[in-house]
Amino acid sequence: MAKAIHSMIRVLDEQRSRDFYGKAFGLDAAERLAFDGFTLVYLSNPESEFELELTINHGRTEPYAPGDGYGHLAVSVDDLEADHARLTQLGLNPMPIRELMHQEKRLAKFFFIQDPDGYRIEVLQRDGRYK
């Protein structure tokens, strides 16, 4: 059986991205690997073995465009309202909390936040299928 281990995004400014993901989701660098032309930084936290891989292409000055194929990365939290308030207080501008209904039952309670490179992250209340 396959196991999901990481997702990769290209970022323009390593430190800006590390600061954002650290403040927003408690992700720290598990490993940083520098190569000729690019650097890989693997971010993780004790909640999950899944990692976010940041790819920094050396010499890149133009921002990346997420395009119309990228959707979002999703994380789950124990207390959605508290996390929304914390992110708001940090000045990270989370979008309003929403609910998604399916067959007259709440499927999800969530909000989105955008990282410095324009990637959207969905923050879901841990409940039901979103553990």
Q: Which residues are catalytic?
A: 122
Q: How many Å is the maximal CA-CA distance in the chain? A: 54
Contact 80, 125 (CB under 8 A): yes
- Give the number of other Cβ atoms within 10 Å of residue 9's Cβ: 17
Lookup: tokens for 34: 């520098």
H or E segment at 88?
helix 80-89
